[in-house]
Structure 1
């Protein structure tokens, strides 16, 4: 009986730490089990565009809150469809407002994932961390904001992965939120602008180009911003050496 009670005492903190992440995983499973992910498609948006536009015009505030909540939940549950939702935001609210709502919602959803992962795994990873992970964590801490901005700006890293990695290396919540909010702005407004012209595209029978973010005229300026974010890292590494 004593061993059982001791085991329970050891397990309880782990279960508490894992609970937020388990809720998010359960939410993802439920979404797919119920087939709700099928609504995050351009066919569904095309079929319901008149109803959605009418709802936005008649109950604008409720529509905005609903969109932000849906977007944040989708990101928190790591449901594929962030690009679609951003385009839908541009379609429903226009490039600027749709982009703003998407940035706010994505930041909220990403922060939920970050906090859940940090709560669940940080202590475990830190206890088992080997030399390489410790060095990576130290390097991240020295230039948190710069590295996070690079990860957010460069559209080559999966969004869900960038939500998790900072939690594993102990990034501060403040820097995570700032870098997420700023870093996703360029890509978000690119997709929101696509959504702004979606009605004409539907009428012509076309489909939106999700690969637009990788076109040179769009990707190169974003990579330029990522390079600017890396300048503080280079300065800390080489500037201080030159001064000494």
Structure 2
């Protein structure tokens, strides 16, 4: 078993690497280059590059997207819109979905590795109850959160990383749950010139509809659980009804003795 200081040093090193990457992105002006305004101005050049080097351009796009998602950098929306304008709907959809899910999973693993032991040491009894609930309904909760674009992306990764949810479950549920929202942005990105800001993509009505869509799996789960519990109760169902009717007949039968 490794000494405790080695694990502490490794966590500190990981945090230092993340901080260095964030500082490099800030000082390099990468955020300005990846802004929606700059990407719109460079659309023709990016399309020409993609036509010359389709595999390289998609690979570079995915690498930047994975890094941005893993570090929770605020460029995902602009990248998604630009990817659709350059690659077209289907290529942008699968590459963006896979990249965002990979980035989310890396952030999930980072939060689990760096923070989970410390949080468990202080709030272990509370996390144990949360883990029990997630073992039963975790996939439904995560699916609902991923369907709601208004819920912060980085916060889902951080909070779920502190739980005992399996990595495989987190990856696949995130992939499917984020797909509808990704499709909305990719579809809007095909007309990149008409998008003045990311807020133009999600209207209040569409946001409300996706929120209701996110709540639906949880409501459906509760309805099914209630229906099952009622069927399992004594006196419910056909057999229980038969016993209930027999008792009523015996109560009204004058020849019946107990």
Give the TM-score taking structure 2 as reference length: 0.81
2:218 aligned to which of 219, 226, 230: 230
Mapped to 2, the partners of 1:209 and 1:116 lie a distance apart of 28
Distance in structure 2 (CA, Å) of the matches to 1:31 and 1:106: 18
CA distance 1:153–1:21, shift in 2 (3 Å):
farther
Residue of 90, 96, 99 corresponding to 1:105? 99
Residue 231 of structure 1, CA deviation = 4.2
Corresponding position of 1:38: 32
Deviations 1:12-54 (A, max 9, x none): 1122244434422321122112221111212211332221111
Name stretches of at least 5 consecutive residues in structure 2 with no aligned partner.
234-258
Equivalent residues of 2:43, 2:82 under 8 A apart: no
Given the alignment, which residue of 145, 150, 157 partners 1:151? Answer: 145
Q: Does 1:241 align with 2:229?
A: yes
| Deviation, structure 1 residue 240 | 4.0
Q: 1:50 aligns with which of 44, 47, 52?
A: 44
Q: After TM superposition, list the pairs within 5 Å mapping 1:52-201 onto structure 2.
A: 52-129=46-123, 131-199=125-193, 201=194
Report how many residues are paired: 231
CA offsets 1:63-97 (integer angstroms, 9 cap, x no match): 11111111111111211111111111111111222
Kindly indicate whether structure 1 or structure 2 has the higher relative contact order, using CA contacts under 8 Å at least 6 residues apart: 1
8 A Cα contact 1:187 1:213, kept in partner: no
In the alignment, which residue of structure 2 is the partner of 1:212?
201
| Partner secondary structure for residue 156 of structure 1 | coil
| CA distance in 1 between partners of 2:42 and 2:141 (Å) | 40
Query: Computing the radius of gyration over CA atoms, which structure comes out larger, 1 or 2?
Result: 2
CA contact (8 A) 1:24 1:76 kept: no
> What TM-score do the two structures reach when normalised by structure 1?
0.86
Paired residue secondary structure (2:201): helix
- Distance in 1, matches of 2:169 and 2:12, equals 23
Distance 1:145 1:25 in 2: 31
Q: CA RMSD in A?
A: 2.1
